[in-house]
Amino acid sequence: MAEVVRDSTGTERADFPAPFLSVIVPVYNSQTELKHCLAALAKSHYEDFEVWVVDDGSTVPIKPLVDAYGFGFSRIHRPSGPAYARNRGVQRARGRYVVFIDADVCVHDDTLALFAEAFGRDPTVDAVVGCYDDAPDCPDFISQYKNLFHHYVHQNNRGEIQTFWSGCGAMKRDVFLTFGGYDQQRYRRPACEDIELGMRIAAAGHYIILDPRIQAQHLKRWTFWNLLRTDVFDRGVPWTRLMLESGAMISTLNVTPVQRLSVALVYLTLLGMLTSALEPAMLTVATATALIATLLNLDLYRFYLKQRGFWFTLRVIPMHWVYLLCCGLSVGGGALLHLLKRDRTKLASIPTT
- Is residue 211 included in any domain, yes or no? yes
Which pLDDT score is estimated for 113? 98
User: What is the DSSP code (8-state) at residue 103?
Assistant: T
- Tell me if residue 346 falls in helix, strand or coil: helix
Which residue(s) pair with 13 in the sheet?
5
Domain that holds residue 190: 4-221
**β-strands 12-14, 21-27 pairing:** unpaired
Which pLDDT score is estimated for 257? 85
Question: Does residue 262 share a domain with residue 208?
Answer: no
Which CATH number do you get for residue 161?
3.90.550.10
Question: Minimum mean pLDDT among 21-25, 29-33, 98-102, 333-337: which range?
Answer: 333-337
Asked if residue 231 lies in contact with residue 328, where contact means CB atoms within 8 angstroms, the answer is no
- Can you give the C-alpha Rg of the chain in angstroms? 22
- Is residue 226 included in any domain, yes or no? no
User: What is the DSSP code (8-state) at residue 127?
Assistant: E
Tell me the mean pLDDT in the region 84-112.
Answer: 97
- Is residue 230 included in any domain, yes or no? no
Which pLDDT score is estimated for 157? 87
Asked if residue 136 lies in contact with residue 150, where contact means CB atoms within 8 angstroms, the answer is no
Please write the tens of the pLDDT for every residue from 246-278.
876 666 666 788 888 999 999 999 999 999 888
DSSP for 42-58, please give it.
HT-S--SEEEEEEEES-
Q: How deeply is 130 buried, as exposed, middle or buried, from its count of CB atoms within 10 A (0-12, 13-18, 19+)? A: buried
pLDDT at 10 over 50: no
Most confidently predicted of 6-15, 219-228, 235-244:
219-228
- Is residue 232 included in any domain, yes or no? no
Which pLDDT score is estimated for 277? 85
pLDDT at 348 over 90: no
pLDDT at 22 over 70: yes
Tell me the mean pLDDT in the region 200-214.
Answer: 96
Tell me the mean pLDDT in the region 147-161.
Answer: 93
Question: Does residue 261 share a domain with residue 199?
Answer: no
Picking from 167, 199, 221, the residue at the C-terminal end of a domain is 221
Which pLDDT score is estimated for 267? 94
- Is residue 80 included in any domain, yes or no? yes
Question: Does residue 269 share a domain with residue 213?
Answer: no
Q: Quote the longest CA-to-CA distance of the chain.
A: 84
Tell me the mean pLDDT in the region 36-51.
Answer: 97
User: Half-sphere exposure of residue 317, counting CA atoms within 13 Å on the CB side?
Assistant: 17
Question: Does residue 165 share a domain with residue 267?
Answer: no
- Alpha helix (H) residue ranges in the chain: 31-42, 63-67, 82-92, 111-121, 141-155, 173-178, 193-203, 224-229, 237-246, 257-275, 281-296, 298-308, 310-349
Which pLDDT score is estimated for 168? 97
Question: Minimum mean pLDDT among 49-58, 99-108, 232-241, 296-305: which range?
Answer: 232-241
Residue 345: pLDDT band (50, 70, 90) is low
The CA-atom distances, in angstroms, between 119 and each of 94, 116, 173, 216 are 17, 5, 12, 18
Tell me the mean pLDDT in the region 179-188.
Answer: 95
User: Half-sphere exposure of residue 338, counting CA atoms within 13 Å on the CB side?
Assistant: 17
pLDDT at 245 over 90: no
- Is residue 38 included in any domain, yes or no? yes
Question: Does residue 193 share a domain with residue 126?
Answer: yes
Question: Does residue 283 share a domain with residue 189?
Answer: no
Which pLDDT score is estimated for 249? 66
Asked if residue 152 lies in contact with residue 244, where contact means CB atoms within 8 angstroms, the answer is no
Q: What is the pTM of this model?
A: 0.89
Question: Does residue 277 share a domain with residue 204?
Answer: no
- Is residue 250 included in any domain, yes or no? no
Question: Does residue 303 share a domain with residue 180?
Answer: no
Which pLDDT score is estimated for 7? 45
Asked if residue 38 lies in contact with residue 69, where contact means CB atoms within 8 angstroms, the answer is yes
Residue 284 CB: number of other CB atoms within 10 A?
A: 11
Closest CA to 166 of 191, 148, 142: 191
Tell me the mean pLDDT in the region 137-166.
Answer: 94
d(C-alpha 249, C-alpha 335), whole Å: 13
Asked if residue 188 lies in contact with residue 57, where contact means CB atoms within 8 angstroms, the answer is no
Picking from 206, 221, 236, the residue at the C-terminal end of a domain is 221
Question: Does residue 261 share a domain with residue 193?
Answer: no
Closest CA to 26 of 2, 50, 57, 61: 57
Question: Does residue 296 share a domain with residue 177?
Answer: no
Picking from 169, 200, 221, the residue at the C-terminal end of a domain is 221
> E strand or H helix at 134, and its extent?
none
Tell me the mean pLDDT in the region 114-128.
Answer: 97
Question: Does residue 269 share a domain with residue 122?
Answer: no
Residue type, 302: R
Please write the tens of the pLDDT for every residue from 304-340.
999 999 999 999 999 999 999 999 999 999 899 989 8
Residue 123: pLDDT band (50, 70, 90) is very high
Residue 353 CB: number of other CB atoms within 10 A?
A: 3
Average pLDDT, rounded, for the chain: 90
Please write the tens of the pLDDT for every residue from 280-305.
899 999 999 999 999 999 999 999 99
Domain count, the chain: 2
Residue 199 CB: number of other CB atoms within 10 A?
A: 22
Question: Does residue 210 share a domain with residue 106?
Answer: yes
- Is residue 214 included in any domain, yes or no? yes
Q: What percent of the chain has pLDDT over 90?
A: 77
